[in-house]
Every structure is written in C-alpha cells, then in structure tokens.
C-alpha cells in the first residue's frame, strides 16, 4: 500500500518530520511518500496562505495519481475537497483525522494550534464536518509554525501550558495538536498530561490505511465527482 | 493485536457472520475474537432490547479485559459509553464507525436500517456524535433483523430498493448499512449502486486497528473515568 | 392516581428522601410509590453505573405495571427510552423534568450536579432533548452522591457556592439541581439565591400528574412501540 | 388555585371553548378564569395580528394580577416574554406547552396548524425554545381560525387528513394541534389516529397547575426582571 | 428615495440623534424621515417595553406608507416581523443590520449593549436570524439607555471597557453596538480599539438603501403576507 | 467609489454580463471594474474548479489594490476568506450577498443553482455563514454554467420550473439564483413567480456600496489579519 502524504507548504524539514511520523504510524508493508510542493508558502498560517498553497498542492497530488490514499498534512485541511474530486482513493486531512479520532476516544476535546489567526479556519472546518459540538475550544499557543522547526525554542513549553489550561478550563478529555509541525510532541505531551494528545498525522495514517484495507473509496457521486474536462490542466 | 468484537444479541449465526466480516477487514496479524452474550435478546430492535442486552454485553467485555480494542457490533452502539469506562483500550460502535467513515468519503450520507422503530435511536446517536448534519436521512427497509439470517428472504432486494431511494431523493453520496447483520451485503450493493456502501463492522475494524497501532487510547479523564468500586460486580 | 417513582440505585435512604419529596409535590389524592431495585449500584455516577442499574430498574418497573405514570429518579434519566417502550403511561426522568421546567420559567439555566464525571452524560441528554441551547453550563460541585446522605457534610455549602458562580458567570436565571439526592435542598437554596432552584423530583411529579389528569400517554408508534416478544423476559 | 387563561383575540365563542377545555383539564379545586381583551383582532393569523393583540393582552393580564398562573391561549404564544416580566407567577403559552408535552411522550412530533402564513411564527418559536430538533414538520391544514367556530365546516376533516400525512410522511409519533380553536378536537383525533394528539390548552393547564403546586415561579433575574417604572402605564 | 427611520421609544432627543446618524450614512439624494411614536415607553429595555411600544410603532409606520424602506431603530428589532406584513418595502431592524454587517466583515463578533436584562432578547434574535454561531458573546455595559442621552455620563468609558474585554476574552474581530443611542460613539470607539465597531443605524441605512436601488422588496408570500382585513384598524 | 467585481472564471462573456448587472445595480457615481483572470477554469462547477481558479483570482485582486470594495462574482464565494486577508476594503461573495439579502426579505428562501455537483459547496457555505437554518433547500436546475451563455438554450425554462417546485414544495418565500451567469434572469423570474428572486451580483453591489459609504471595513484582527510576508509573492 502506498500512501501519499502531502505537506502543502514548502518547508522540507517539516516534510521530513511529517514523513517520519507517518512511517512510525504505518503498518510494516505500507509505503509512505512524503512530499511538498516546489513552490508556495513556507508555512500555512491563515486563509491567504491556504489559497496560495493550492496550486502546488494539487500539482503534487496529480503527480502521484497511483497512490492508494492521500493525506493532506496541514491542520487547515487545505484543498481537501478539491483533492477528493481528483481521485477515488480515500483522502483525509490531518485536522479532520484528529477531530474524528478525538471524538471516538473522548466526550469533548480541545485543539491547541499555533497562532490565533489560524483559529477561525479551524473553527470553520469543525462546523463544516459537524464536529464543532464535540470541541470545547480551539486554543492558540502563539507559537509560529516555523518555531516548531527550531531546536531550543520555547514552543513545547508554550504548547504544554496551553494543554494545561484546556484540561482545567475546558474540561477537555483529549487534546488535538493543531499543526503538522507538532507531530513529534504528541507522545511526550500525552504522558505529561495523562490524557490522549492526538497527532493528526498519525491519526490520518491510522484511518486511511484501514480504509484502503477494506476497500473504502471516496464517493464519486455529487460534490466529489471528477471535474469536467474543461480548461483544468492538472486533470488532463 | 487482539480485537474483541461483541455482538450484544444472542444469535450465534449473526456473531459468526460478523466475525467473518471482521476477519476479512483485519490485517494479517490481527486476531478477531467474535463473541456474544449467553443471555439476552436474540436481536436488538429498539431501546428496550438495547437495555436488556446491557448486562450480558458488559459481562462479556469484562471477560476479555486483555483485548487491545473493543468493537460493539450492534448498529445502535449499545452500551458504548459504559464500555469506555471499563477499559483504556479504544472502543468503537459499528454505527459510530460507519458514520465517521461516511463523513470522510462523502459530503452527505444516508443510513438504511432494518425497522422504523430503530430509527429514533440511530438519530439520537447521530445528534450526540455531532454528525447529524452529515446524514441526509435515516431510512428503514422494514426488514426484521432475523430475516437477514434467512437465505432466500427478500431482505437484500428491499435494502437495495431503499438505497435507490436514498440516492435519488436524499442526494446521498454514500450509504451506511444500519445493522450488523447486513455486513455481507455491502460489497455487492456498492457495486450495484456505484457509490460507497459502508458496513460498520469493516469500518470499525479499520479504525480501531489503526488506533491500536498508533497507541491511541480511550481517555480516562472525565466521563470515561473508571467507575468507582462501589457495588459494581463486573468491575471487581 | 398512582405514580411510580423509581430510584435506580439501591440506596434506601435516598429512596425515602425522594419519596418524601415526591409526596410533598403531589396532589392530595395521588399515591406515590417510591421504590428502588434490590440489586445494582449504590449510586449512579457516570455511564457505567447507569448501565449496571438498568436490569434492576426495568425489573422494578415491570413489577408495577399498573402505575398511572413513571418517574425515573436519577438525574441521568437512566433507562428513560427503554421504560417508555414498556408502558403507555407517561414516563419522565427527573433530569428531563428539570430541564423542561427551567426552560419555562427562565431564559437560560445552569445545572449544578455532583461529580465532573457525570457532566458528559447530562450534556448528552440536553443535546438529545433539544434543550442544550437553553442551558448555560453544566457545573459540578464535586460532592459525591452519597455525601448528600450524610448529615454534617459540606455538601450544601459546596452546592450553594457553585450556584453563586452560575449566577455571576453564566447569567443563569434559574438553577436545576443535578442529583435526586439534592431534593431536600431546593427550597432553601432558592430562597438564599433569589431565583428558581429546581428539584427534578418535584418538577417530574408536577408534570406527569398533569399528564395523567389530561389523559396524555406515551406514544406507542415508532421508537416507543412495545418490544416484540422475543427473548425479553421482563416483557413476558 | 386561580389560573388566568387569556385568549388574546376578541372572539368570545373561542374564549368559551378554551375555558371549557381548561376546566376539563384542571383539578377539582382549581378555578379557571378564561377571558379575552375587549379590543384587538378577532383572530391571530400571523405576525401582524400578534402585534395588534398585545396591548389588549397585557391590559387583561394586568387586570388579573392575583392569578396564581397565566396561560396565553394562542398557539403563537403571543406576548409570552412580556407577560413573564409582569408577574412572578408561572406563565406558559399553549404552543410552548404543546411542544414540551410532545417532547416528553414521543421522539418526534409534527404540528398541524391553521394557515400557511402562521407557520414561520411557529417555527420561530420552536427554534427559540430549543425544540425545533424534536419537531418533524409544521403543517398547515389551510383551515382559517374562525372556521373552527362554525358547526358543519370541513375543518375537522382537513385537520385529520393533515395528521394522516404527518404520520406517514414525517414519522411523527405525536401531533400538536396548532390553534387554540382546535381544543375540542384532540380526543377524537387521537382515537382516530392511534397516537397522542395534543391540545395545548390542556397541556398548559396540566403543566402550570403542577408548577403552582410545587411553588415554581418565573425567574425575576435577567430577561424577565420587572420593567423599570418609566412611562409604562400598565405597570403602574 | 425616502427612508422611514422609526425610533419605537418616545425620547425625542434619541430620535434626533438617530436621524442625524441616518442622514450621515445616506446617499445625497436620500431623504431620512426620523420619527417616534407619540405614546409609549421612553426607552426599550427588555421584553415588556418592547410589547408596550408596538401599538405606537405600528401606527407610526402606517402613517408613512409611502416610504421606500423602513428602519426600526431599536436594537431589539421590535415589531420587525409585524412591520414586514404591512408593506412590500424592505424593512430592517438595526440589530439585524448590525449582525449581518458584522458577519460580512469578520469571522466572529461580539455585541455590547446597555443592561443585562436586554441580553436574552438579543440572543433570541440572533438564534432566530441564524447568526448566533457568528456571535461570540452578547455583553452588557450596564449603562441604562437614557444615560446615553446625558453629556458627562460615564457611558462611553463603560462601553469602551466592555469592548476591550470582548477583544481579549471573546476573540471578537468586530463589535456591534447594542443600542440605537450609541450611534454617535461608533467611529471613535472603532479608532480607539482598531477594529470595526458597527452602529446598527448606519448599517441599516447602508443595506436598505441598496435594496431600494436594486428593487428588492419584502416577500409577500408566506409569513409576511398582508394581514387579512378583519378587525385590524391600522391596516384599514 | 470604485468596486472591483472579479469573475473567477475566464469566460469573458460572463464577465461582461456580470459587469452590466453590477453597473445597473450601482449608484450613478460608482465605477464598476469587472474583470476575470487570464488563466484558470472557464467555469466553476464544484470544489476542484474553485481551487484551480484561486491563483488567477488572487492575482487579479492584487492588481487592483486601490478598489474601495471587492465582489467575488462566483456563487461558491471562491477565495472569499483569502481575499479578505489582502485588503481592508469590504469584500463580499455573491452567494453570501444573496443569502443575507434573502434572510432580510423573507422567513425562508431556497437556492436554485446549476448542477447537482455544486450543491455541497453551497450548503457548506450556508453552514459556515450561519444561514443554513434560513434556507429551505439548495436545488439544482441541471443547467451547466456555460449553457447560460447560449441564446436559445432551455436554461431559463428549467430554472423557472425549479423555482416553481421551491415555492410549492419548500414553502420558499424568496429565491436566490445560484450562479453569476443567471444575473439577467432575476427580474423576469421575480415577475413570473410573484416573489423576490435575488441575483447575488446586484445584492452584492447594494451591500458593499453601502458599506463603503459608511466607512465599514474588513476587520484586520484575527482570521483576516494581513498575511505575514514570507514567500507569498502576491502580497509582496
């Protein structure tokens, strides 16, 4: 089984970290193809960066059409619906995967993301997926995405402190980490706080690997039907 | 990895069919333990049967405390919350699994279940999980649960007809089959109708197997904390 | 008129307190039959205890089939839907009664219950009944259920403090006490805080007594239809 | 106990019918004071009539300040919030009472009202009370309010037909009759269709009588606080 | 174009302030007719005042039937639905206008109104319009309406402090001022806090002027159909 | 005042039609700049086309940074959030404008769009804006976008038939036309069916022109803050 994991930003160190996390989560026989576009934003922090990353993201997906599943490794689930129109393979975003996983192991969860400016896009997704009622609060640690790539930053401490507040103030029973760049922190934060701290990358691998095994595909009826071949070059 | 699959009713032929479906969905190294209680209702059709099946269900789970994951193989997700209090292993119901899976592969899905009397309990679960907004309609095929165990019944034809109505009237992009006893029909109905027809047993195996692999456990904070040892014999 | 009031736990002192509260709320000619099962949990604190109390609860109801109405005297409304399948008499839970009453005498209410672990089940019920939008917050006083049975505990002080927070922080216009064991505190807490403090036992008696008087019965169509006589011994 | 039942329109024959229904629903010792304003619309069919009936309605309530409870006998629950600011007695509208009662005896109910133009106001109330999720559909029989006062009209037949459609198309488990003028039809329609057909007048009497008995009052904190004595003559 | 701006309370100084704000917001050729009823409450603070202002409000609207648009200049949107039944001209409330405007320029907004007692009516409107999910919180500055008419009161300072809390605690991206009497404060508060502070009077003028220009009228089908001419004098 | 109207697809005839509609809706002194990107899909029918149109759309907006307001003239509101991050001018999508306008002139509206495949994206927007509860149904006429550009097609007849169904089956009190290419049909369809048929282009002009006049800007706090200047060329 080959799972395409696309980091929609162009920061290769983050792609490597995401790839490692995906491989750690996958079954022995599963191949993880972790890639990022050649061009686009170096990090995705808000709606504008999302939009600017889309051409590179879709081009990257189009170059790996034989993948058995696709993971969009940005917590905003950038381009999720568009990618589902490109393939019948199952497609999942790491935000989406984290929300579904948290809904299955807890009554209520909180999200701890990077900057406040990213909160509305995450809340928007929660409402659209139907899971807003399961989320106590989307919280920002005010750690910029690229600080997660720097050894010695205070990123982990700030995230841990925000988890503490989620537990005491939100009655969160689980935490979803709100950035692909936090993937390496989940296990130690879970141990520290004594509750599930969910990395969306691992959750996404766990879910789509299972979907491939049971033959579950993206619906090609209705909203995810293949695009009509008009002037859309990436489809041609 | 050992996954406990509990059919909460006492019909052994259904348990065998569920076990076969679970094994077909599982990875090679995964052991499926498909069991049913010794006592309780022969089928679960509505709230009363759900309640009557609970003692047997919980006793069965307590007898298999070393399982790495638990699947409740009744579409009503009978006793789901109670079982989550008994173990830190991930626990999923087949209704819940079907709803989450359908939400990931389609914009909107419909459910096709057995009798009308089961509809309110399913709708109740959809609201509670947050996924009611993703479900177009819960439909009844008016096939009693035990008819699914009889060769030569008109069960498949009635279910197929109801799927046809879901596609044309509800704009359903995927179907969730609303009874564990329909597990053997999913593949052929999917081929017939040209859209994902989801069997909750397979979806549940796919999801919890992944959760075990990544070490995701049920939260033991808040609502799923282990019960205080008062007079609860199954816990002792 | 005979109203069956079932305390689903086995603590007789609590049953006596509940019976007294129900009698104080009832009209002169109404007979209150306050009972509890012989076996099951001594208190209901969370989903697991709920499930373990069900067989005793349903057996107790089956033994009093001639009651004109049934009240389930646990704030989780344990087994409510199942009991409605057993009888055409009106059936109400004390949580449900408290929520409906508070919705009629205030714009917004808060709930003050016992332990945090009981909060998710109460929130689940609020969502399912439709009244979550009317409830500002479900709060825990962190008073264990059985402490309510001990003279001289700090239970009342903790509950009163939590009511104070509900008024100042939640803009609650009414309070619903979230445990049958608090039934004797409602009047004095209402006087102390100057707003309606609602005891679900009294509210339940008030509502179902009225329903019996006007001949309103539980619907026997759809989800509350009588269970099919398969292997369900309590029905036979 | 004295319950004020205000019909906000000026049609005395309807007031008499409402009064009779309220008396039939009340306990022996309860006095029903059924009144209507001297001036205002002869029937309330839509938002405009609602507004025009308010001065007369509030004046009528102000003239009976010693009532132990107030029922607003119009299915739109005209002026409900304003009346709650005038008194600490419990106040209920017959629409509100019908919705709460139906929510307690069924999983889902439908409303059958008079004219289509009244539907939005009823839907508005359902959303505001929180009970929209419990209502399958608000249906119009296209019977004008005053036709309900005429012997020999086809009103009952039209309403019965609409109930039939609610049962078959909406999966309604109970019906709420959507006009005070239908109060005399509930029992026979219930018998005919074999499910609870709820008259809001009877439901309102049942509920507020109970509230008076247990001493439950309208909150005077927040939105229902007594109006400041500025230039509001009816308060002075 | 002639826009009728009705202040439903009888305080002429507030009407003058509202009229000036409306004229400042209007296009050069637009005539603003700012009026208030001769009789009724001097301010509208809660449900009771709303009801008492309705006869004067509707009479005032009826006297200006040739207006091209109607603005109800009370933040509770008093009588909005009833006025829509009286005319095919577009009708908007200043609360409604503020909510829609804030939804278009921000992800989430908070409301800062006068007294706590007005909060439930505002929340009720948000739910009914569908925009509750876009509003973080409705906050009270505890400034009585008429204090806004007094030079030298601490009103502005209290409102500004509440805006500060909305920004820091609610993550509000815009503020809607919750009283027509605050119309003159919007610009300076917006400059002070660096985010849109929306005056409903200006927003209402902006929106309905546009609607008149494009010929958009209030629907006369369904709930806003003209009232049947029974005993409704203002219609005749 | 200069309003930028961006048609995100590359079909110039549609851009001309949109420009004409916008000019007809604008005030005399307002300049309408109607443009489309040089590259991208010829029509936007579903999520994939949306994503592919984004680079051209954002580039076009960046070339007209001095516009006083921006209208996105695609009913999917493609790129709406991203464009709001690029400017403090008010930005509105024609879908969004149509939904808000319909919410102000009716109790409930239906949408009539082109193809079924576009329905989920529209429903997604309705949920995200908060206005899903105001929309009865999103309907497809099954007219492809480009057929709207062909004289003599059956497009108008199909759309009119679908409006008829919305009126009779959905109780729609207003209709929102679900494609920029339908802009020239609104007036005649409104006359034919006797209810408001809203063209989003005209509604968008009406609303943002007013916003410019009163100085209302897009919030630059939170989700719409200007993007950090990393590697985003269109911002530089």
Q: What is the four-CA torsion angle of B52, B57, B60, B62, rounded to 10 degrees?
A: -110
pLDDT (0 to 100) of residue D232: 40
Q: Across the interface, do F167 and E221 touch by the CB < 8 Å criterion?
A: yes
Alpha helices by DSSP H, listed for chain D, are: 12-25, 47-62, 80-86, 94-105, 119-129, 155-170, 186-193, 200-213
| Chain F residues within 8 A of A40 when measuring between CB atoms | 231
User: Quick one: pLDDT at residue C236?
Assistant: 32
Sign of the alpha-carbon torsion through E91, E95, E96, E101: positive
Burial tier of A226 (Cβ tally within 10 Å: 0-12, 13-18, 19+): middle
The vertex-D45 CA angle with D40 and D47, nearest 5°, equals: 85
Stretches where chain D sits below pLDDT 70 are: 229-236
Of F119, F124, F127, the CB nearest to B171: F119
Nearest to C92 by CA among C234, C221, C216, C183: C216
pLDDT class for C234, splitting at 50, 70, 90?
very low
Query: Residues of B with CB below 8 A from F119's CB?
Result: 171
Lowest mean pLDDT among B15-29, C128-142, D217-231, F106-120: D217-231
Strands (E), chain C: 2-6, 31-35, 69-72, 91-93, 109-113, 135-140, 174-178, 197-198
SS3 of residue C219 by DSSP: coil
F108 at interface of D, judged by CB pairs closer than 8 A: yes
What pLDDT shows up at residue B232? 40
The model carries a pTM of 0.96
Residue D152, judged by CB atoms within 10 A of its CB (0-12, 13-18, 19+), counts as: exposed
CB distance from C116 to chain A under 8 Å? yes
pLDDT exceeds 90 at position A147: no
Q: Which chain D positions have a beta carbon within 8 Å of E48's beta carbon?
A: 58, 82, 85-86, 227, 232, 235
Give dist(CA F176, CA F138) in Å, integer: 9
C233 band by pLDDT with thresholds 50, 70 and 90? very low
Q: Write out the two tokens for E202.
A: 């200006």
Which residue of E lies nearest to A122 if distances are taken between CA atoms? E107
Taking the Cβ of residue F157 and every Cβ of chain B, the question of whether any pair is shorter than 8 Å is answered with no
d(CA A35, CA B234): 50
Question: Is A12 an interface residue toward B (CB < 8 Å)?
Answer: no
> Using the beta-carbon criterion (under 8 Å), do D216 and C195 form an inter-chain contact?
no
> Coil, helix or strand for F45?
coil
- Distance from the Cα of F118 to chain E's closest Cα (Å) equals 22
User: Is E171 in contact with A123 (Cβ distance < 8 A)?
Assistant: no
* DSSP state string for chain B: -EEEEE-SS--HHHHHHHHHHHHHHS-TTPEEEEE--SSS-SS--SHHHHHHHHHHHHHHHHTTTT-SEEEE-STT-TTHHHHHHH-SS-EEEHHHHHHHHHHHH-S-EEEEES-GGGHHHHHHHHHHHT-GGGEEEEEE----GGGGGSTT-SHHHHHHHHHHHHHHHH--SEEEEE-GGGGGGHHHHHHHHTS-EEEHHHHHHHHHHHHHHHT-----SGGGSPPPSSS-TTT-
Q: Which of E116, E124, E127 sits opposite C171 (nearest CB)?
A: E116
In this complex, is the C-beta atom of B108 within 8 Å of any C-beta atom belonging to chain F?
A: yes
Average pLDDT estimate for E154-176: 97
User: What pLDDT is attached to residue F230?
Assistant: 62
* Residue of C110, C77, C63, C105 whose CA lies nearest to C7: C77
Q: Is the minimum CB–CB distance between A120 and chain E shorter than 8 Å?
A: yes
Of D234, D177, D222, D220, give the one whose Cα is nearest residue D89.
D220
- ipTM given for this complex: 0.95
Alpha-carbon gap, residue B191 to B180, rounded angstroms: 19
Residue E171 sits at the chain A interface (C-beta within 8 Å): yes
Substitution target from F46, F115, F120 for chain B, most B beta carbons within 10 A? F120
The contacts of residue E89 (CB under 8 Å, 6+ apart) are E67, E68, E69, E70, E212, E217, E218
The residue whose two tokens read 């109800």 is E72
CB E107 within 8 A of CB F222: yes
C-alpha distance from residue B166 to each of B140, B169, F139 (Å): 11, 5, 16
Q: What does pLDDT average to over chain A?
A: 94
Confidence (pLDDT) at A28: 93
Residues E232, D79: C-beta atoms closer than 8 Å: no
List the chains bordering chain C where 3 or more Cβ pairs fall under 8 Å: A, B, D, E
For residue F42, the SS3 value is coil
Cβ–Cβ contact B130 with D under 8 A? no
**In chain B, which stretches have pLDDT less than 50?**
231-236
Instruction: Answer whether residue C155 shows pLDDT above 70.
Output: yes
Cβ pair B103:A129 closer than 8 A: yes
F40 touches chain A (CB under 8 A): yes
pLDDT at res. A233: 42
pLDDT at E151 over 80: no
Give pLDDT, residue E228. 79
Q: Is C124 on the interface with E (CB under 8 A)?
A: no
Q: Are strands C31-35 and C69-72 parallel, antiparallel or unpaired?
A: unpaired
CA-CA distance, D108 to B124, in Å (whole number)? 11
Q: Which domains does chain C have, with CATH numbers?
A: 2-93+202-221 (3.40.50.12500), 95-200 (3.40.50.12500)
What are the E-state strand segments in chain E? 2-6, 31-35, 69-72, 91-93, 109-113, 135-140, 174-178, 197-198
Please give the pLDDT value at position B172. 98
Q: Which residue has the tokens 């990436």?
A: A234
D-E contacts at Cβ under 8 angstroms: 117
B104 touches chain A (CB under 8 A): yes
Which secondary-structure segment (H or E) carries F124? helix F119-129
Task: Give A137 to chain C, closest Cα distance, Å.
Answer: 14
The residue behind tokens 């095919």 is: E88
Q: What angle do CA F13, F14, F16 make, to 5 degrees?
A: 65
Spatial separation of the C-alpha atoms in residues D204 and D128, rounded to whole Å: 18
Give D-chain residues touching B123 at CB under 8 angstroms.
Answer: 107
Per residue in F174-196, pLDDT tens?
Answer: 999 999 999 999 999 999 999 99
Q: What is the pLDDT of residue E234?
A: 41
Nearest chain F Cα to E30, which residue? F27
Q: Is C28 on the interface with D (CB under 8 A)?
A: no
**pLDDT of A232 over the 50 cut:** no
Confidence check: pLDDT of A202 > 60 = yes
What's the CA gap between D140 and D110, in Å, rounded? Answer: 11
- D108 and chain B in contact, CB less than 8 A: yes
Q: Measure C173 CA to nearest chain E CA, in Å.
A: 10
Environment class of residue C172 by beta-carbon count within 10 Å: exposed (0-12), middle (13-18) or buried (19+)? buried
| Mutation site, A47, A116, A232, interface F, largest F CB count within 10 A | A47
Query: Looking at chain F, which runs of residues are DSSP E strands?
Result: 2-6, 31-35, 69-72, 91-93, 109-113, 135-140, 174-178, 197-198
| Residue carrying structure tokens 């706590």 | E116
Mean pLDDT lowest for which of C175-184, E147-156, F80-89?
E147-156
Q: Average pLDDT over chain E, rounded to whole?
A: 94
Pick E171's closest partner by Cβ from A119, A124, A127: A119
- pLDDT for E59 beyond 60: yes
Chain B residue with minimal CA distance to F47?
B107
**Range scoring the smallest mean pLDDT among C13-27, E178-192, F167-181, F218-232:** F218-232
Average pLDDT on C23-34 reads: 96
- CA distances from residue C56 to C50, C69, D103, E198 in whole angstroms, order as listed: 11, 18, 26, 59
F123: closest chain B residue by CA? B107
Q: Which of C42, C120, C235 sits opposite B230 (nearest CB)?
A: C42
CA-atom Rg of chain B in angstroms: 17
Task: Tell me whether residues C223 and B120 touch, CB distance under 8 A.
Answer: yes
| Bridge partners, residue E33, by sequence | E4
Per the CB < 8 Å rule, is D108 touching B127?
A: no
Beta-carbon contacts of A179 under 8 Å, excluding residues fewer than 6 positions away, are A75, A113, A114, A145, A148
Measured between beta carbons, the chain F residues lying within 8 angstroms of B107 are 120, 123-124
Residue F235, pLDDT score: 36
**Residue entry with tokens 């989620």:** A166
* Nearest-CA distance F165 → chain A (Å): 21
Contact D9, D74 (CB under 8 A): yes
Confidence of residue E144 (pLDDT cuts 50, 70, 90): confident
pLDDT at F142 (0 to 100): 93
Check CB contact of E99 with chain F, cutoff 8 Å: no
Residue found under tokens 């509920």: D207
- Give C59 to chain A, closest Cα distance, Å: 30
Q: Does F120 touch chain B (CB under 8 A)?
A: yes
DSSP string, D124-149: HHHHHHT-GGGEEEEEE----GGGGG
Q: Which pLDDT belongs to residue B236?
A: 32
Choose the weakest-confidence range: A186-195, B144-153, E158-167: B144-153
Radius of gyration of the CA atoms of chain D, in A: 17
Q: Is D231 on the interface with E (CB under 8 A)?
A: yes
CB nearest to B171's CB, from F116, F124, F127: F116
Closest to B208 in 3D by CA, of B86, B63, B82, B101? B101
Degrees to nearest 5, angle at CA F192 with F186 and F195: 70
Structure confidence at residue F149 as a pLDDT band (50, 70, 90): confident
| Residue in A88, A148, A83, A81 with CA at minimum distance from that of residue A112 | A148
Q: Which positions in chain A touch F224 (Cβ < 8 Å)?
A: 47
Inter-chain residue contact A107 with C120, CB threshold 8 Å:
yes
């Amino acid at each position: 089984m080959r799972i395409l994991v696309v980091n929609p930003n162009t920061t290769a160190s983050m792609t490597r970290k995401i790839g490692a996390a995906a491989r750690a989560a996958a079954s022995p026989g599963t191949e993880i193809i972790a890639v990022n576009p050649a061009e686009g934003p170096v990090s995705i922090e808000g709606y504008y960066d999302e939009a600017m990353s889309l051409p590179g993201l879709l081009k990257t997906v189009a170059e790996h059409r034989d993948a058995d599943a696709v993971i969009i490794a940005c917590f905003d689930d950038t381009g999720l619906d568009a990618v589902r129109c490109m393939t019948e393979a199952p497609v999942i975003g790491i935000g989406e995967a984290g929300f579904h996983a948290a809904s299955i192991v807890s009554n209520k969860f909180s999200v701890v993301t990077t900057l406040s400016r990213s909160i509305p896009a995450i809340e928007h997704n929660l409402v659209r997926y139907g899971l807003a009622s399961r989320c106590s609060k989307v919280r920002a640690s005010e750690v910029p995405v690229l600080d997660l790539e720097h050894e010695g930053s205070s990123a982990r401490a700030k995230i841990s402190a925000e988890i503490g507040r989620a537990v005491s103030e939100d009655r969160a029973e689980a935490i979803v980490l709100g950035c692909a760049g936090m993937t390496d922190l989940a296990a130690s934060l879970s141990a520290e706080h004594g509750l599930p701290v969910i990395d969306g990358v691992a959750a996404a691998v766990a879910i789509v690997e299972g979907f491939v095994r049971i033959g579950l595909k993206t619906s090609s009826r209705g909203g995810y039907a293949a695009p009509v071949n008009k002037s859309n070059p990436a489809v041609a």
